[in-house]
């Protein structure tokens, strides 16, 4: 099996929090889909992998590939088969850096990605799931550029417009809801 995957690559030190990293990973994924045509096969099963470029050389090689940037440290490459990763991607590892957790709540209107408080995921898996949520939110017409990420004490929050249901290939069982996309008209989520 040689699945199609979107690779989201993070430059070492690009951010320190899940909140900022999630916003940037999501924005990069949305921009990649806007700039490059995604194969129908990938759209049916939109797998994403988050990698971390540890050295300037690794990062420079990634930037030689077709990509869409969310910042000077976060890019998404259009979907490609695992066998087509090339040296730029095969030599870097999955993101597993410990990041500061998101806040339990935020205030004011806007788009929010709420993480499921009943599951644990690595930082890379979390960012990939948030990127899925961003693509869903963008498809519904929401502006993902200023979205926030929260780790609420409960997952039963109002304003849910989409939810990410994991395929269960890594870390969580199939069908697990990992992220809910919430739209706040005002007030706070906590």
27-42 pLDDT, tens digit per residue, is 999 999 999 999 999 9
Give the pLDDT band of residue 184 (cuts 50, 70, 90): confident
Is the domain defined by 106-189 classed in CATH 3.40.1490.10? Answer: yes
Stretch 173-180: mean pLDDT, rounded?
96
Q: Which residue has the tokens 């269960």?
A: 168
The residues, any chain, with a CB within 8 Å of residue 102's CB and separated by 6 or more, are: 17, 18, 19, 22, 115, 148, 149, 150, 151
At 100, is the pLDDT very low, low, confident or very high (cuts 50, 70, 90)?
very high
What per-residue confidence (pLDDT) applies to 190?
52
How many degrees, rounded to 5, is the angle at CA 130 between CA 126 and CA 131? Answer: 115
Domain boundaries, the chain: 4-94, 106-189
Task: Give percent of the chain with pLDDT exceeding 90.
Answer: 88
What was the pLDDT predicted at 187?
56
Kindly report the pTM of this predicted structure: 0.95
- Helices (H) and strands (E) counted in the chain, each on its own, are 5, 11
What is the per-residue pLDDT for 189? Answer: 59
pLDDT per position as a tens digit, 42-98: 998 999 999 999 999 999 999 999 999 999 999 999 999 999 998 899 999 999 999
């Amino acid at each position: 099996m040689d699945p199609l995957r979107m690779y989201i690559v993070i430059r070492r030190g690009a951010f320190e929090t899940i909140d900022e990293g999630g916003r940037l990973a999501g924005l990069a994924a949305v921009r990649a889909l806007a700039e490059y045509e995604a194969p129908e096969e990938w759209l049916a099963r939109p797998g994403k992998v988050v990698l971390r470029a540890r050295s300037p050389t690794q990062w420079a090689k990634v930037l030689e590939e077709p990509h869409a940037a969310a910042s000077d440290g976060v890019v998404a490459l259009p979907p490609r088969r695992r066998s087509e990763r090339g040296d730029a991607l095969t030599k870097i590892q999955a993101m597993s850096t410990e990041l500061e957790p998101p806040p339990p709540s935020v205030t004011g209107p806007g788009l929010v990605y709420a993480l499921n408080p009943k599951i644990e995921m690595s930082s890379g898996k979390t960012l990939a799931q948030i990127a899925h949520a961003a693509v869903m939110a963008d498809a519904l017409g929401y502006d993902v550029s200023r979205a926030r990420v929260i780790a609420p004490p409960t997952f039963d929050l109002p304003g849910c417009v989409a939810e990410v249901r994991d395929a269960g290939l890594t870390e969580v069982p199939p069908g697990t809801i990992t992220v809910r996309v919430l739209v706040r008209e005002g007030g706070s989520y906590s």
